[in-house]
Copies of this chain bind each other. A is one copy, B any other.
């Protein structure tokens, strides 16, 4: 049974260890992802050239693969980075942005899942459903359509991929195939700020690097993002101010906030 106290310990460990997270991510979110990692006490590096992947993985503590603005070449780079990370034994997080929106993304997702040992896969409902072979209507990179039973969805894909699955949404559902948790933190405004999901994946990458219980690491990340989103929404529901408050909360986030606001439940 994972408790909020466990998550709180992760937070303190992260700030102490300041892990380096290697992101191969999309070009929409590079800046905000880097700032988010810095704000929570991790260090970001973005590196995409195949020629330096091995070097960068060798100094990194986790790797995040995000297919938001995918190209053929990037698939190749991601597969190679994944294999380097697996060889080194650092966690790999996969964010299948827009899975379901194109064959390129679907095929790349399958290839990455088949060839890279992934610690965590995080996506919205459409994306995770599509990875599971359920053809859900997709609206580009935003979720649309609904799965009846998200817990079963997460559990089954988890068993199939041997990865922790996180289905982001109004409630985040996270499962390691055996147990499942829900996180009820968050606010709908997170879906109106581009990159909230991508940031979440990279933050999970930071926690996975200091906690090899990836279910717990994912939960810590989901709770952190959710709380920062809901605290920001209390300050402002306007686009610019919400984003500013979200980053303010990321940098102010501490054990007290986590213990006070976290809403996790074993389901």
Binding site for B on A (CB under 8 A): 20, 22, 26-32, 34-35, 38-39, 43-49, 51-52, 55-56, 59-60, 68-72, 98, 101-105, 138-142, 192-195, 236-241, 243-248, 250-252
Number of copies: 3
CB distance from A43 to the nearest CB of B (A): 5
10 contacts between A and B (CB under 8 A): A20-B139, A27-B27, A30-B69, A45-B101, A45-B140, A45-B141, A47-B102, A48-B69, A49-B70, A236-B248
Residue of B nearest to A195 (CB): B31
Which of B49, B60, B241, B252 is A140 in contact with, Cβ under 8 Å? B60
Which of B31, B52, B103 is A31 in contact with, Cβ under 8 Å? B31
A72 touches B46 (CB 8 A): no
A140 touches B239 (CB 8 A): no
A193 touches B35 (CB 8 A): yes
Alpha-carbon gap, A8 to B28, bound state (A):
30
A56 touches B101 (CB 8 A): yes
Which of B26, B59, B71 is A138 in contact with, Cβ under 8 Å? B59
Which of B28, B51, B72, B246 is A34 in contact with, Cβ under 8 Å? B28
Contacts of A243 in B (CB 8 A): 35, 240, 247
Alpha-carbon gap, A212 to B149, bound state (A):
40
CB distance from A250 to the nearest CB of B (A): 6
Alpha-carbon gap, A239 to B205, bound state (A):
20
Which of B22, B38, B102, B141 is A194 in contact with, Cβ under 8 Å? B38
Alpha-carbon gap, A28 to B36, bound state (A):
13
Contacts of A47 in B (CB 8 A): 69, 98, 101-102
Contacts of A52 in B (CB 8 A): 70, 101-105
Alpha-carbon gap, A250 to B195, bound state (A):
18
Residue of B nearest to A77 (CB): B71
CB distance from A26 to the nearest CB of B (A): 7
